Amino acid sequence: MTGRVTLVGAGPGDADLLTVRGLKTLQDADVIVADRLGARAVLEQLAASGIRLRADVIDVGKLPGYHRVPQEAINELLVELAQTGKHVVRLKGGDPFVFGRGREEQQFCEEHGIPVEVVPGVTSAISVPAVAGIPLTHRGVATSFTVLTGHDQIEAGGVLSLSKGDHTVVLLMGVNTLGHSAHVLAAGARGVDCPVAIVEDGYGENQRVTVGSLGTIAGIAAARQVRNPAVIVVGDVVRLSPHAVGVLSAPAGHWTDAFLADPPLSPL
């Protein structure tokens, strides 16, 4: 009998941000094929909180620039495991369909006759800025946002909306190409003073927020040795973060006296 595969989004690395359906699916799994980022941390936290999963766990963790198991081998593994009749859960960081190659894995399985369900996850693109008190849209500040990877070379004028000041740009996998991205974005209507925040290891032990502007952020990030995983947010919404207090000027009328008198150190 052919088994099946479920792609589950693990969220940004905090087991509390796994969906209820995601947890139920993990409990039903015979085997879990897990990524490093987000997914492993969630499995470890579930175990530490006494939630036992009967599934075997296969770690296919990826590090930036170092793919422990090539994508093709992961695809083959999912098919082979499902062909033995198992319920295979493919646990991926964040949401499987946001720069996660989730649809590729789903298509490969379906081409081999394996049914695949998808359980969405909380994407780091939105949840990691939130941990630093940064909304991607905010009335009067930003009405839209774009999520890009640093691997995509941002081209000046390539995407018109990227240069508009009321549009938030979120960069995933963007630490290594930060200097280039900041340079190109500063060349648009935003200018060098446009605020930037980098949130490293969101929800993790090494969570850290670095705030600067398009003109300064590459130098600050180098001095602070900013590392992956990190989400980079570019736009005026960064001014709304408690981490911007004293670093950037607030957008007019957005900080009340009460807010300034009691800035939350841990914003959530």
Binding-site ranges for ligand SAH (CB under 6 A): 12-13, 37-38, 93-95, 98-100, 123-125, 128, 172-173, 199, 201-204, 228-231
Q: Which of 30, 59, 62, 164 is catalytic?
A: 62
Contact between 241 and 209 (Cβ < 8 Å)? yes
Output the smallest distance, CB 15 to ligand SAH, in A.
12
In the complex with ligand SAH, which residue's Cβ is closer, 214 or 230? 230
In the complex with ligand SAH, which residue's Cβ is closer, 83 or 228? 228
Q: Which of 35, 95, 201, 236 is catalytic?
A: 35
Tokens 């980098």 belong to which residue? Answer: 198
Output the smallest distance, CB 238 to ligand SAH, in A.
15
Output the smallest distance, CB 262 to ligand SAH, in A.
26
Ramachandran quadrant class, 199 (left: phi over 0; alpha: psi -120 to 50; beta: rest): beta
Give the CA distances from residue 143 to residues 129, 169, 202, 234, 237, in Å, rounded to whole numbers and listed in that order. Answer: 16, 11, 24, 14, 10
For residue 266, which of 238, 240, 243, 234 has the smallest C-alpha distance?
A: 243
Contact between 36 and 10 (Cβ < 8 Å)? no
Output the smallest distance, CB 258 to ligand SAH, in A.
30
| Residue nearest ligand SAH by beta-carbon distance | 94
Q: How many CB atoms lie within 10 A of CB 163?
A: 20
Q: How many CB atoms lie within 10 A of CB 68?
A: 13
In the complex with ligand SAH, which residue's Cβ is closer, 65 or 246? 65
Residue 86 annotated among the catalytic residues of the structure: no
Read off the tokens for 234.
């570019």
Looking at the annotation, which residues are catalytic?
A: 35, 62, 173
